[in-house]
Amino acid sequence: MSTMIAIGAAIAVLTGIGAGIGIGIATSKATEAVARQPEADGKITKILLLGAALAEATAIYGFVVALLIIILLG
Amino acid sequence: MGNLAENLMEELQCETVFSIGGIGISESVVVTWIIMAVVLIACLLATRRLKVENPGRGQLLLEFAVSWIQNLCGGFIGEEGKRYAPYLTSVLIYLGIANLIGILGFKPPTKDLNVTAALAIMSIVLIQYAGIHKKGVKGWLKSFTEPVAIVAPINILELVIKPLSLCMRLFGNVLGAFVIMKLIESVMPVFLPVVFSAYFDLFDGLIQAYVFVFLTGLFIKEAIE
């Protein structure tokens, strides 16, 4: 039983993949944008941080779900 | 590792410190009271002896800080939603202090799911109130059927999804940062935690406070459009 719970929690944490890809794409685009327009640096950084924090949320949901699985079932 | 799991379970549970007339007062409430007291005293001390003519250095700094934070929050909701800016400002200040208070050895109140849930419910009530205030009850009901009538169930579902996502985002981030810090401490207790603490405790806490207020502002702006 505990093995199944561990596997379930591990599957829930796979949401991190999406957040990783999302933040990667956002950062690559931000780098391009800064290379094209270095003077808009501050604004781009602000938007990038915000976007990264929003993209990170999916990973956080996965983490919370995994934690709930372990706590409620384990 | 078994010890760590027990530790985490202990941290997740919200202890009741004392009770008033059968109502349990949990640790997060007490820490919130401490934050309230500190902010209140800071406000009273900072606003003493304000002058219109030739203000002192402290007053200039205070005015700068106040206008900066007001512009930050006012920028989210635009000109029309100016009347909701004070709420966003107070939530931002509270969340910022609450996320950083872990450094001083207090238990961050945002690590308690009830606190973030309460904040999220306050936000969704304010968002809907803003919609009703702007459009009237009829227009507010009608806004559920926009852009087409068939998406109405999804729009009603959003009433639950929005606060749930706000609440879980804040709670998960603070708890996640806490768990990772515990893991790092158990692997290497010397130098490494200092470096990561700068990110997880300082930077991440402030970013999440900002994101919470930003999203609330965005939803209000959406509601009054």
Q: How far apart are CA B7 and CA A72, in angstroms?
A: 16
CB B209 within 8 A of CB B115: no
The residues that bridge with B20 in the sheet, in sequence order, are B23
Amino acid sitting at position B5? A
Amino acid sitting at position A27? T
**pLDDT band for position B101 (cuts 50, 70, 90):** confident
Does residue B27 fall inside a structural domain?
A: yes
Q: Do A64 and B171 touch (CB under 8 A)?
A: yes
Find, in chain B, the residue whose alpha carbon is nearest to that of A50. B211
Query: For position A31, what pLDDT does the model report?
Result: 94
Does residue B8 fall inside a structural domain?
A: no
* Averaged pLDDT, B90-100: 90
Find, in chain A, the residue whose alpha carbon is nearest to that of B166. A57
Of A22, A45, A21, A23, the closest CA to residue A34 belongs to: A45
What's chain B's length in residues? Answer: 225
Does residue B6 fall inside a structural domain?
A: no
Q: Do B169 and A57 touch (CB under 8 A)?
A: yes
Apex B114 CA angle, B109 and B120, nearest 5: 95
3 state SS of B101: helix
Task: Give me the total of CB pairs closer than 8 Å, taking one residue from chain A and one from chain B.
Answer: 32
Q: How far apart are CA A23 and CA A46, in angstroms?
A: 14
**pLDDT band for position B4 (cuts 50, 70, 90):** low
Tokens 């806004």, residue located: B143
B8 has a pLDDT exceeding 80: no
* Averaged pLDDT, B75-85: 82
Q: Do A60 and B169 touch (CB under 8 A)?
A: yes
The two structure tokens encoding residue B45? 């001390």
The residues that bridge with B18 in the sheet, in sequence order, are B25
B107 has a pLDDT exceeding 90: no
Average pLDDT, chain B: 84
CB burial class (10 A; 0-12, 13-18, 19+) of residue B128? Answer: middle
Q: Tell me: the pLDDT tens digits for A6-62? A: 899 999 999 999 999 999 999 999 999 999 999 988 888 888 888 888 888 888 888
Q: Do B211 and A63 touch (CB under 8 A)?
A: no
Does residue B105 fall inside a structural domain?
A: yes
Spell out which chain A residues touch chain B, with contact meaning CB-CB distance below 8 angstroms.
49-50, 53-54, 56-57, 60-61, 63-64, 67, 71
Contact residues for B183 (Cβ-Cβ < 8 A; gap 6+): B4
**Which of A45-49, B47-51, B99-103 has the lowest average pLDDT?**
B47-51
- Which of B116, B171, B207 to substitute to test the interface with A, most A CBs within 10 Å? B207
Query: For position B14, what pLDDT does the model report?
Result: 66
Query: For position B177, what pLDDT does the model report?
Result: 83
CA dihedral of B214, B73, B92, B116, whole degrees rounded to 10: -40
Q: How far apart are CA B81 and CA A30, in angstroms?
A: 30
Q: What percent of chain B has pLDDT over 90?
A: 14
> What residues in B contact A67, CB-CB < 8 Å?
175
Q: How far apart are CA B151 and CA A66, in angstroms?
A: 31
- Which of A5, A58, A63, A73 to substitute to test the interface with B, most B CBs within 10 Å? A63
Query: For position A65, what pLDDT does the model report?
Result: 87
Query: For position B5, what pLDDT does the model report?
Result: 67
**pLDDT band for position B57 (cuts 50, 70, 90):** confident
How much is the ipTM here? 0.71
Does residue B9 fall inside a structural domain?
A: no
Instruction: Count up the domains in chain B and report the number.
Output: 1
Of B194, B195, B192, B199, the closest CA to residue B177 belongs to: B199
Does residue B174 fall inside a structural domain?
A: yes
> What residues in A contact B169, CB-CB < 8 Å?
57, 60-61
Find, in chain B, the residue whose alpha carbon is nearest to that of A46. B207
Query: For position B129, what pLDDT does the model report?
Result: 92
Does residue B4 fall inside a structural domain?
A: no
Does residue B52 fall inside a structural domain?
A: no
Give the distance from residue A18's alpha carbon to the nearest chain B alpha carbon, in angstroms.
16
Q: Tell me: the pLDDT tens digits for B143-189? A: 888 778 888 888 888 888 889 888 988 888 888 888 788 778 877 77
Of A11, A7, A9, the closest CA to residue A70 belongs to: A9
CA A24 to chain centroid, in Å, comes to 10
The span from the first CA to the last CA of chain A, in angstroms, equals: 9
Give the distance from residue A68's alpha carbon to the nearest chain B alpha carbon, in angstroms.
11
Query: For position B38, what pLDDT does the model report?
Result: 92
Domain of residue B193, residue span: 14-47+58-223
Query: For position A50, what pLDDT does the model report?
Result: 82
Q: How far apart are CA B211 and CA B215, in angstroms?
A: 6
B1 has a pLDDT exceeding 60: no
Domains of chain A, start order: 2-73 (1.20.20.10)
3 state SS of B78: coil
Contact residues for A67 (Cβ-Cβ < 8 A; gap 6+): A9, B175
Q: How far apart are CA B182 and CA B169, in angstroms?
A: 20
